[in-house]
Structure 1
Amino acid sequence: MELKPEQLVAQLGSGSLSPAYLIAGSEPLRVLEAADAVRAAARAQGIDEREVFEAEGNQREPDWAAMKATFGAPSLFATRRLVELRLPTGKPGKEGGALISEFCAQPPADVVLLVTAGEWSRKHAGKWSEAIGKIGKIAIAWPIKPHELSGWVEQRLRSRGVRAEPDAVQRLVERIDGNLLAAAQEIDKLALLVGGDRLDLATMESLVADAARFDVFRLIDAAMNGQPAQVSRMLAGLRAEGEAVPALLGMVVMELQRTAALARIKARGGNLSAEFKAQRVWDAKQPMYHRALQRHSPAHWDALVSQAGRVDRMAKGREAGDPWVALERVLLAVAEPRAVRLLARADV
């Protein structure tokens, strides 16, 4: 059974450790905290010896032979050991997958295996991860969706003893803009400064800095997810940080072209799942594209690609107009169909 990292952390407080754990996902804070909880539970149960295996130097993979030897060798200093395997890509390869499956088939009584991965999608799963699931626990840190962020922030505030009013929670969500590491730091700071007092909006605004991560990837996600207010705010942030339109436009055009191609396939009744696979769109990202495809016809997507070409010409001085204003209008049109009419205006 797949758990959320927070569910795994809660379970570790009682009972004995499982023989194996897999903790993976693109949210580093949630992966790190769940892995730390496993390590803490191991120490609490007298497991002080720990070995870590990961790719080092020019190696593309961990030393599988050494890891296999570790599984079979008795501990010199403790009755039980924690063996960690770190897979940044989430893929152990054929040899690594076979070794993990072999371990899970007959787990040594003196070893607890902890596998962590920085990338994860349904395609990463295989016989090796299924083997871990049969004898242990799997926790996947899927990205927190925009509508889930308020609940995540509020729960974390409560866990640190901070009672916050709803508008104060929402303001913190706006300030951190999906950056869970920044959110965790701010919440820890608030716990020290506020203590048991109730946190209102004015206090929140005075204590929390704007730590939003303005980057082109989140900008595109906001547009594709239909969040026009976020688009305008993040684009203003990127401009204030000194970004240049050409530096952003490459990714914007690529996503528009990809979505236009998906729209044509959908319109003719083609296999979107196969196209997602061909385009290497992860499972966690596919709902975003489905939502975006519902907002525009294939012709509209093609028109948006053409408008992005206009932005490029403006940025290079080959066409009159403000490229920042033009780019904002394109992305607003992606997010909100009613904003398409802005593209026809000449006051760019």
Structure 2
Amino acid sequence: MELRPEQLVAQAGKQPLQPAYLVAGPETLHVLEAADAVRARARADGAEREVFELDGRDIDWDALSASFAAPGLFASRRLLEVRLPSGKPGKVGAEVIAGFCADPPPDTHLMIVADEWSKAHHSGKWVDAVSRRGVVSIAWALKPHELPGWIDRRLRERGLRAAPDAVQGLAERVEGNLLAAAQEIDKLALLAPEGVLDLATMESLVADAARYDVFRLLESSLSGHAAQVRRMLAGLRAEGEQVAGLMPMVIRELLRTAALARAQARGANLAAEMKSQGLWEARQAPFKRALQRHAAPLRWNRFAAYASRIDRAAKGRGPGDAWQLLERLLLAIAEPPATRLLVGTGR
């Protein structure tokens, strides 16, 4: 069956787990919440959870297949979670998933979680097999006109009511970022006075999540959103930010990504490495996408070296327009063909 993420959350809270789940889509918040609902139900049922994710460039499908018939170490019930960022298991993975769905072992549940999903590029017999045996839940990105309604419903779920202009004001501030909207609504649930929230009260309590800051800039670059990078850089410059103030964070994240690239190249568990680097799950997707575009550790080392050049230019110790150099670097990270704009980044 197919369920919207919010329907899956409700179902998992009331009904026994299905044998198989596919939770995917570009709307990160809804993917996280739907997958968390399945995990919570599994915990409540006393199930043991085992996670399979990228090890190098692919999931160990043989290990997953062997695990279907293996007894749990600590519990008779099990949730086997497959983290598949691209949403494409390949031929072997598709056969393993379809084989599970054809004859799922008793008290064993399979959940595939994917970051990327599109109607044009994600389909196949394995998806149909999951749908027949369990639940397919795709978290599509909200359209701009849908955001106020989503915010109003979320506020009501938290016991809050807001005037239409207050809801619209929050929608404009978060610019479609549902994670930011959810965080602000949770904050309002703690801070808001009784009664209907008006626009003035909302503005006094809500942080401006639409502000162009270096964290969102780097996330956009790592995620491959070149147009967003250009827009954010223009916003930062218009707000009077200085490149020198941005570079410590830029250099830190590039060095972090270089370390992840080295770990990936030697076949280490990338998810474990990310956790050791202080990257919680909600922040991992942009780094994974960036490492898919630029897999070579040398490329990231040279990006970091180029960032040092920008830092010197921003402080007047080297040649070049620091804003222009920064834009070239972030676009090169977002779009591999743009690396030709850089000198000495390698291939």
TM over 0.5: yes
Which residue of the partner structure matches residue 20 of structure 2? Answer: 20
1:75 to 58, 63, 72: 72
Which residue of the partner structure matches residue 111 of structure 1? Answer: 108
Which residue of the partner structure matches residue 207 of structure 2? Answer: 209
Structure 1 SS opposite 2:209: coil
Indicate whether 1:98 and 2:95 are aligned: yes
CA contact (8 A) 1:179 1:213 kept: no
Structure 2 SS opposite 1:12: helix
Matches of 1:162 and 1:218 in 2, distance apart? 34
Matches of 2:242 and 2:128 in 1, distance apart? 44
CA contact (8 A) 2:162 2:198 kept: yes
Superposed CA deviations along residues 37-93 of structure 1, whole A, max 9, x for unmatched, are 00111122222x11000013xx21111111111001122321210100000111111
Which residue of the partner structure matches residue 194 of structure 1? Answer: 192
Summarize the Cα distance change of 1:77–1:141 in structure 2 as closer, same or farther, 3 Å threshold: same
CA contact (8 A) 2:192 2:205 kept: no
Structure 1 SS opposite 2:14: coil
Matches of 1:149 and 1:9 in 2, distance apart? 19
Matches of 1:119 and 1:212 in 2, distance apart? 24
Superposed CA deviations along residues 217-238 of structure 1, whole A, max 9, x for unmatched, are 88969xxxxxxxxx9x996466
CA contact (8 A) 1:23 1:115 kept: yes
Structure 1 letter corresponding to 2:187: K
Question: What is the 5 A alignment of 1:18-97?
Answer: 18-47=18-47, 49-56=48-55, 59-97=56-94
Matches of 2:54 and 2:177 in 1, distance apart? 27
Question: What is the 5 A alignment of 1:225-236?
Answer: 236=235
Superposed CA deviations along residues 255-279 of structure 1, whole A, max 9, x for unmatched, are xxxxxxxxxxxxxxxxxxxxxxxxx
- So what's the TM-score if we normalise by structure 1? 0.62
Superposed CA deviations along residues 201-260 of structure 1, whole A, max 9, x for unmatched, are 110011111112656888969xxxxxxxxx9x996466337599xxxxxxxxxxxxxxxx
Summarize the Cα distance change of 1:96–1:213 in structure 2 as closer, same or farther, 3 Å threshold: farther
Matches of 1:176 and 1:163 in 2, distance apart? 18
Structure 2 letter corresponding to 1:15: Q
Summarize the Cα distance change of 1:241–1:12 in structure 2 as closer, same or farther, 3 Å threshold: farther
1:148 to 139, 146, 149: 146
Gaps of 5+ in 2: 244-319, 322-347
Q: Equivalent pairs: percent with the same residue? A: 59
Matches of 2:242 and 2:85 in 1, distance apart? 29
Matches of 1:143 and 1:234 in 2, distance apart? 24
CA contact (8 A) 2:25 2:140 kept: yes
Gaps of 5+ in 1: 222-230, 245-315, 318-348
- So what's the TM-score if we normalise by structure 2? 0.62
Question: What is the 5 A alignment of 1:1-348?
Answer: 1-47=1-47, 49-56=48-55, 59-122=56-119, 123-194=121-192, 196-212=194-210, 214=212, 236=235, 239-240=238-239
CA contact (8 A) 1:161 1:196 kept: no
CA contact (8 A) 1:177 1:213 kept: no
Structure 2 letter corresponding to 1:21: Y
CA contact (8 A) 1:162 1:195 kept: no
Summarize the Cα distance change of 1:196–1:71 in structure 2 as closer, same or farther, 3 Å threshold: farther
List structure 1 runs of 4+ shifted beyond 3 angstroms: 213-221, 233-239, 241-244
Structure 2 SS opposite 1:124: coil
